[in-house]
């Protein structure tokens, strides 16, 4: 149990570090500053959000009789927010195009 707890703490620290970098970047664009407490709370919020979406994704995949979570499941997360859905759809399309371009390049060589 304690080994599991330390693993959780390490994951959270890693998330904290990257949330901090992301917030710094957004703050630079807006010319504002964020307190360390703000970053800490946002990390906590992201942590809970990860818990929620991971369980949602798992159940979406199960509902489609799959054991692997696909991009379609992630898009389903944004079903209630058309703007978010559009942005994620764009990311998925770009990723697919990148992948197709890479495999096309490989088969040519």
Residues at the site binding other proteins, with contacts judged by CB under 8 A: 7-8, 11, 14-15, 18-19, 21-28, 30-35, 37-38, 41-42, 45-46, 49-51, 53-55, 57-58, 61-62, 67-71, 73-75, 77-78, 81, 84, 87-88, 91-92, 95-96, 99
Kindly tell me which of 45 and 101 has the beta carbon lying closer to other proteins. 45
Nearer to other proteins, 14 or 101 (CB): 14
Residues 44-72 as b or e (16 or more Cβ within 10 Å = b):
eebeeeeeeeeeebeebbeeeeeeebeee
Can you tell me which residue has the tokens 């009789």?
65
Chain position carrying tokens 């369980």: 55
């Amino acid at each position: 149990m304690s080994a599991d707890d330390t693993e959780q703490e390490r994951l959270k620290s890693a998330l904290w570090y990257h949330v901090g970098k992301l917030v710094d970047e957004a703050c630079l664009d807006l010319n504002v500053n964020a307190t360390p407490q703000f970053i800490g709370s946002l990390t906590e919020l992201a942590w809970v959000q990860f818990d929620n979406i991971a369980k949602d994704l798992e159940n979406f995949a199960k509902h489609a009789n799959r054991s692997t979570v696909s991009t379609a499941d992630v898009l389903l997360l944004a079903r209630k927010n058309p703007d978010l859905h559009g942005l994620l759809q764009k990311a998925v399309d770009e990723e697919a195009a990148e992948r197709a371009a890479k495999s096309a390049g490989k088969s040519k060589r």
